[in-house]
Amino acid sequence: MIKTNRRDFLKLGGLVGLGLLTACGPSPSTVVEEKASEVHKSKNGLLELKLVAALTNINLNGKQAKLFSYNGSLPGPRLEVQAGDTIKINFTNKLQQPTNLHFHGLHVSPSGNSDNVFLEVKPNESFDYEIKIPKNHPSGTFWYHPHYHGKVAEQLFKGLSGLIIVRGALDKIPEIAAASEHFVVLKDIELDASGNVPRSSMMELVRGREGRLLTVNGQINPKLSVVKNGLARLRFLNASSSRIYNLSIENHPMHLIATDGGAVANSQEIQNLILAPGERAEVLIKADKTSAEYKIISSSYDRFNGMAGGMMGSMMGANISSQNSTTTLARLVYEGSSQKLSIPNKISDFKLLEQKPVNTRYFNLYHRGVMGRGPRFFIDILDSSGKKIGGGLFDHKKVNVQAKLGDVEDWVISNSGSMDHPFHIHVNSFQVIDSSGKPEPAWRDIVLVKPGQSKRIRMKFEDFTGKAVYHCHILDHEDLGMMGVIEFA
């Protein structure tokens, strides 16, 4: 904040009149040039950096794009820390709209100047974030992005996101340590002829906006190298606002080693991987085929319950084709050769939550038109008989769920709507319980709930008091009301 006395103010006013200075709010010409993605690693328990969000000229394989970036790069700087470290971010908002930061998936305080999504950083203002990562925090792939309600989808879609890597036990498994490590940030972009992100129609917002350019680490079809006979470790993040990816690799099965919240118990061979917005997954790939290039593919995925080709589809126009086509996202390229590495079986001492849930809560997700406001998205809270007892549209002044620190709870999330909703909760990760009542040995913070489905999740509220949120990670849905407030006490 610049403090001025009246005399100075008049002087500044004169300059404004001459067009030399703009008081209050960013000048419309605040556009920065693209820079290479930075990597910031903690030293002696501290990672300190300046982060600036600004409109940026980005080169997308020869196409000029005007996007939002952190520190001029797409994706933003990668932050690498260890359990027990503190992250201090001096954050400046050079956008012409309010924003803030969320530290997705980290088990950290949701209050004060930590992972507090109720904060507002106005245009041209700065704010000092301080994130203390607990000593027992799992290693894994996490990320940061804006969480200013009403602007989240737009700000992510235009490019704001970055990885947070917590190093630890997972990185020390010999085969994983020897693998070639690749961060794979998946992000779709839509551009008009002049390189701007076009405004979305209400129908696009209802569906969740998607773009036809599929980028990996801000590039189109980049090369990821692997040594023949060696392993590649791909650390996927879906940083798209709405797109769900159906991932596979030509001629190569994947071996899942980590989900949102870190390592699984044992590696698991999979042929394809469904990744909803906000989700992370780490896979190992064995380079035991003929030295060549292999496509990393995104296949079609229907998140509209078979309705995409119908009325919803035709009203969407051009963008619908993107959901139904197969696209090469990147290439896995063999280079050189090494001694044979095998896929490790045991990945971690994973522990299921042993404590019995003290409570089961029921939630239902759907959307409908609201008189005078247009389409809105809801999370109703139900009793066990299905009667509505709370929830509804997001209201930051309300607390929808009061949770007790130390409790384990089951939440049953149902979807009575007509499209997929990936349900996400802050602060504490959960285990997904299958239909036979068995918990999956994996930590997640996003569970995909398809129309007509119910998913049961189990979580323990640990360490941190304060208010946080749960919401759909199709970010247009969140902006249109599909979010609730939980208070840990």
Give me the residues that bind Cu ion (CB under 5 A), please.
104, 278, 421, 472, 474, 477
In the bound complex, what is the minimum distance in angstroms from residue 472's beta carbon to Cu ion? 3
- The residue among 455 and 477 lying less far from Cu ion, judged by its C-beta, is 477
**Residue whose CB is less far from Cu ion, 42 or 100:** 100
Nearest Cα to Cα of residue 96 among 6, 44, 26? 26
For residue 315, the surrounding DSSP H or E stretch is: helix 311-316
**Smallest separation (angstroms) from Cu ion to the CB of 391:** 14
Whichever of 224 and 474 has its CB closer to Cu ion, that residue is: 474
Shortest Cβ 137–Cu ion spacing (Å) = 17
107 or 421: whose CB is closer to Cu ion?
421
Question: Which helix (H) or strand (E) covers residue 205, if one does?
Answer: helix 202-207
Question: Helix or strand or coil: residue 53?
Answer: strand
Of 230 and 484, which has the nearer Cβ to Cu ion? 484
107 in helix, strand or coil?
Answer: coil
The residues, ordered by sequence, that sit 6+ positions from 303 with a Cβ below 8 Å of its Cβ are 208, 244, 323, 419, 420
Count other C-beta atoms under 10 Å from residue 70's C-beta. 26
Tell me the closest approach of the beta carbon of residue 485 to Cu ion, in angstroms: 11
The CB-of-16 to Cu ion minimum distance in angstroms stands at 38
Select 187 or 421, whichever has its Cβ closest to Cu ion. Answer: 421
What tokens does 308 get?
A: 């995409």
Enter the tokens of residue 265: 């118990």
Q: Which is nearer to Cu ion, 22 or 454 (CB)?
A: 454
How many C-beta neighbours within 10 Å does residue 487 have? 14
Q: Minimum distance from CB of 312 to Cu ion (Å)?
A: 14
Q: How far apart are CA 53 and CA 91, in angstroms?
A: 8
Least distance in angstroms from the C-beta of 204 to Cu ion: 14
Q: Which is nearer to Cu ion, 120 or 335 (CB)?
A: 120
Structure tokens at 55: 């409109």
218 vs 236: CA distance, rounded Å: 14
Sign of CA dihedral 166, 170, 174, 180: negative
Residue with smaller CB distance to Cu ion, 440 or 445: 445
Closer CB to Cu ion, 196 or 418, in the complex: 418
Token pair of 149, please? Answer: 């309600």
C-alpha to C-alpha distance for 274 and 238, rounded to whole angstroms: 10
335 Cβ contact partners less than 8 Å away, ≥ 6 residues apart: 225, 226, 227, 228
- Residue 166 burial (10 A CB sphere; 0-12, 13-18, 19+): buried
In whole angstroms, how close is the CB of 266 to Cu ion at the nearest point? 27
Least distance (Å) between residue 377 CB and Cu ion: 6
Question: DSSP strand E in 16-159: where?
Answer: 31-33, 39-41, 46-60, 63-70, 78-82, 86-93, 102-104, 126-132, 140-145
The conformation of residue 318, written as its DSSP 8-state character, comes to: G
CB of 12 to Cu ion, least distance (A): 39
Q: Distance of alpha carbon 284 from its chain centroid, rounded? A: 21
